[in-house]
Amino acid sequence: MQININRDRLIDYFIDLVRIPSPSWKEEKVIEYIINVISKYKDDVEYYKYKCGDSFNLLIRLKGNLQTMPLLFSGHMDTVIPCENVKPVISDTKITSDGTTILGADDKAAIAVFLEVIACLKENNAVHGTVEFLLTCAEETGLHGVKGFDVSLLQSKAGFVFDSNGGIGRVMIKAPFQITYDIQIKGKAAHAGIAPEKGISAIRIASEIISSIPHGRIDEETTANVGMISGGKATNIVAEDTSIALEVRSMDRQKLKAVEKEMENTARTVTKKYKGKISINKRLEYSGYSIKPDDKLIRLLSDSMKKIKIKPVYEASGGGSDTNVLNKAGIKAVNLSIGMRDVHTRKENIMIKDLIDGARLVYAIIRTV
């Protein structure tokens, strides 16, 4: 398949975007930039800003001139910090920051690629079905943008999120469910030297709970981690309060449930044994997803990759992304690599080849569907 990606224009979009700071909830300037770029195609490119918290999600719709399945492409507009004053350094092959900030390829590489693909489709007068680009806000702080987006606004029922790291071709066909826990343990304060027997140590209860619950890698699909603990006031006071924060992840809903049950039972039994009190607050951060290798979406992807000679690599992700939320809401989606590397660090970088291949891939999918 012959695809004429304009390398310089694509790099320009990318450089412009990473120079605009956009920490979570402060995506406004990036939104302005994108709207400015696409408004020159106003006859057949629509866009909608949907309020979400203090910011907006942006939906761009490219009206199709062919009857095929509408397709969604998605990425997020916010970045982690430090993202002020990003000074991109461009070599022949690679783009990095100057080392004092992140680069912001996560996930502005996806946005630059989408803008380039829109430009290419337009200048080639390409025939294509309806294509939607959903650009979310506040992904990095808890997938807030996509969680606050009403997917019934989409015409697409399936699509591709470009928000994974590594070379173009990696496809996350599976991702875990994640539950987080905030556990508060209440004991009874007493003077540690004069009357320790009158006290109930919340710290002792917490430590027995932590050493008794499943932890670390539970099986190949399931993990658990106590990530924070705090409590107590002084060495001479039997600790009255302790809190524990932990998470559990599993690709399998049933396994997750089993671990949840074991954790909660253990925590309650231990607390009861010492006559303490416990409150357990848990939250499903996101649901997992699993797309079968013979799914239509995967076939479309592998056919598209074949046309541009990219080899797909199917993997399971250890973490959550907007993809999890979309799947849960009924939009079948996989998460794909967009070429970013060493993300969330000052060493973040992207190969120019991956930027170009990302654009070729999106273009190929749109022309293959």
**106 vs 357, which CB is nearer to Zn ion?**
106
Phi and psi at 141, nearest 5°, equal -95, 10
Q: How far is the CB of 80 from Zn ion (least distance, A)?
A: 8
CB atoms within 10 A of CB 222: 19
DSSP summary character for residue 85: T
Nearer to Zn ion, 106 or 132 (CB): 106
Q: Which helix (H) or strand (E) element contains residue 190?
A: none
Query: Minimum CB separation from Zn ion for residue 361, in Å?
Result: 17
Question: Minimum distance from CB of 197 to Zn ion (Å)?
Answer: 53
**Residue position matching structure tokens 């705090």:** 230
Among candidate residues 123, 136, 128, 134, the one with its CA nearest the CA of residue 63: 128
- Rounded CA separation 138/148 (Å): 10
CB 45 within 8 A of CB 38: yes
Instruction: Tell me how crowded residue 345 is: count the other CB atoms within 10 A of its CB.
Output: 12
Least gap, CB of 299 to Zn ion (angstroms): 26
Closest contact distance (angstroms) between CB of 82 and Zn ion is 16
Residues contributing to the site for Zn ion (CB under 5 A): 106-107, 163
Q: Could you confirm whether 78 is annotated as catalytic?
A: yes
226: alpha, beta or left? (left if phi > 0; alpha if psi -120 to 50):
beta
**Residue whose tokens read 């509408």:** 70
Q: Which one is catalytic: 27, 78, 260, 357?
A: 78
Q: Which is nearer to Zn ion, 128 or 144 (CB)?
A: 144
> Is 139 among the catalytic positions?
yes
**Least distance (Å) from Zn ion to the CB of residue 249?**
18
Residue 4 or 141 having the CB closest to Zn ion: 141
Nearest distance, CB of residue 165 and Zn ion, angstroms: 8
Smallest distance, Å, CB 333 to Zn ion?
14
CA-based angle 48:54:55, to the nearest 5? 30
Contact criterion met (CB below 8 Å) for 44 and 61: no
Cis peptide before 107 (omega within 30 of 0): yes
The two three-digit tokens of residue 168, written as one number: 């173009």
| Token pair 């008794």 in the structure block, residue | 212
Cα 235 to its chain centre, rounded Å, is: 42
Q: Which is nearer to Zn ion, 271 or 321 (CB)?
A: 321
Query: Cβ closer to Zn ion: 62 or 138?
Result: 138
Select 107 or 240, whichever has its Cβ closest to Zn ion: 107
The catalytically annotated residue of 27, 106, 107, 139 is 139
116 touches 14 (CB < 8 A): no
Cα–Cα dist 234/346, whole Å: 39
Q: Rounded to whole angstroms, how far apart are CA atoms 173 and 332?
A: 11
Q: Nearer to Zn ion by C-beta: 78 or 116?
A: 78
Structure tokens belonging to residue 276: 């303490």
235: left (phi over 0), alpha (psi -120 to 50) or beta: alpha
Q: How far is CA 13 from the centre of its chain?
A: 22
Catalytic residue IDs? 78, 139
